[in-house]
Amino acid sequence: MEKTLVLLHTVDGQVPQAGLETLGLAKSLGGEFDLAVLGAGAASAAQQISGGAAGVLAVEGDAFAVSRYATDAAACEALIRASGAPLILAPDTMRFHRALPGVAERLSAAIDTHVVSLNSEGAVERWYYRQRIEASLRRAQRPWILLVEPGSQPAAAPQPGAAPEILSVSCDTRTKIEGFSTPLAGEQTIRPDAPLLFVAGAGWTKKQKDGAVHVEEAANLILDFVRRTQCSLGSSKSLVDLSGEGQAVLPFLTHLHQVGQTGSSPRHKKGLATCCHGEEPHVVGWRFIQERRAINLDPNCGWVRGKADVVYVADAFEVMRELLKLI
């Protein structure tokens, strides 16, 4: 196996789970690897996990504490050049996904993103056409940068090792980071590391048995469940579109929550679908949810046709009311 560089960044001074997963993949290949870390507290974060690495590098400092293309690209370029490894593994976080394709251009390197496996013969697997087709490929071109999909690899146990060599990198930029916002009014409901994904479908806003809609109760049940279980919250397209049209329907669901062909494909161990029909464009977004259960009034809904492990033909309002008593 050729030499690899494991390129990571910190979040709040630590290497996040996605980074440990990339490190886990590199270690599983059994070859020699360098470790490089970028961001606030990069040097100490690198040392906490550098056990087994041949060379250890870091870039830190105020300019690199924040996620921004110009500075991140400059730092990653410097780290990759300093290591010289032909194969670079990095987690496919938004930060690296923004920066590394441009770095590949600077280095005349190849890059593949959303990589879900790499074997010792150098073949990777990834998905095409919005997770509808899987493919395996190899490249002769080097350097080759691989962005590894979070949630697709077992994480490495952190092993402390040598302190890094700190590179000094300079870069001009016209961009300043001003802050963060959440479209969920303080409610942080998408948690990539959560074990459970809860998906709310359009049924929550439809007329119920009594002929009336119960959007307020639906909102309370959903948010109460999300808060108590700290799960991720997703939705189907029709719900997102309804809220996009300005109707007073579950306004906390935005395009950020949409799961499916034109939405995201989250990776969680478990998923619970409620009041959504299980139509194909929605269910392709469930491709990487391992255990799936659904609650739907309709015994012929899409989930029943081999898309879920368990389907409860039941009223989701009733089930969720009972469930909230138990958790």
Partner 1 sequence: MPYQIIVCGGLAPDPLQTLEPVFDPARPSLKNELMLPAVFDPWAAHALYEAGHLARQHPGSVVRVVSLAPKAKLQQVMMTVAQKLPLELVALDGPGGGFTDAAAVAAALADAIAAMPDLDRSRLLLFGGWESATRGAGAVMQRVAERLGITEQFLAVDELSVEADGSLLVKERIEGGRHQISRCSSPPVMLAWATGNLPEPPNHPQTGMANMRVIMPALQKAKPVALEPAAEFLRTALPSVIRQTRVVKDVPAAEIAREIAEWIRQ
For binding to ligand FAD (CB under 6 A), which residues are involved?
201-203, 206, 208, 236-239, 258-263, 275-277, 279, 281-282, 285, 295-298, 301, 315-317
Look at strands 117-118 and 124-128 and give their pairing: antiparallel
Q: How many CB atoms lie within 10 A of CB 180?
A: 5
Q: Which stretch binds partner 1 (CB under 8 A): 34-42, 44-52, 182-190, 214-222?
A: 182-190
Q: How many chain residues interact with partner 1 (CB under 8 A)?
A: 92
Cβ closest to partner 1, residue 128 vs residue 163: 128
Partner in contact with 229, chosen from ligand FAD, partner 1, none, beta carbon below 5 to 8 Å by kind: partner 1
Amino acid at 98: R
Out of 176, 209, 210, 211, point to the residue binding partner 1 (CB under 8 A): 176
E-only strand ranges, 14-129: 33-38, 56-59, 87-91, 110-115, 117-118, 124-128
Residues 219-278 that bind partner 1 (CB under 8 A): 229, 244, 255-257, 261-262, 270, 272
Amino acid at 290: Q
Q: Please, what is the minimum distance in Å from the beta carbon of residue 288 to ligand FAD? A: 14
Mask for 87-106, x = binds partner 1 (CB under 8 A): ------xxx-xxx-xx-xxx
Out of 12, 30, 168, 174, point to the residue binding partner 1 (CB under 8 A): 174
On the 0-12 / 13-18 / 19+ scale of CB atoms within 10 A, 250 is buried
Q: How many CB atoms lie within 10 A of CB 135?
A: 10
Q: Is 130 in the site for partner 1 (CB under 8 A)?
A: yes
Is 58 in a helix, a strand, or coil? strand
Q: Which stretch binds partner 1 (CB under 8 A): 45-53, 107-115, 161-169, 199-207?
A: 107-115
Neighbouring-strand partners of residue 235: 200, 258
Residues 49-88 that bind partner 1 (CB under 8 A): 67-70, 73
Q: Is 142 in the site for partner 1 (CB under 8 A)?
A: no
Look at strands 232-235 and 165-166 and give their pairing: unpaired
Is 62 in a helix, a strand, or coil? helix
- The Cα 137–Cα 277 span in angstroms is 35
Cβ closest to ligand FAD, residue 142 vs residue 287: 287
Give the residue among 189, 194, 100, 107 at the shortest CA–CA distance from 148: 100
Partner in contact with 275, chosen from ligand FAD, partner 1, none, beta carbon below 5 to 8 Å by kind: ligand FAD
Q: Position of tokens 């630590």?
A: 14
Cβ closest to partner 1, residue 33 vs residue 198: 198
Q: Is 214 in the site for partner 1 (CB under 8 A)?
A: no
Cβ closest to partner 1, residue 206 vs residue 287: 287
Q: How many CB atoms lie within 10 A of CB 175?
A: 10
Q: Which stretch binds partner 1 (CB under 8 A): 79-87, 158-166, 179-187, 201-209?
A: 179-187
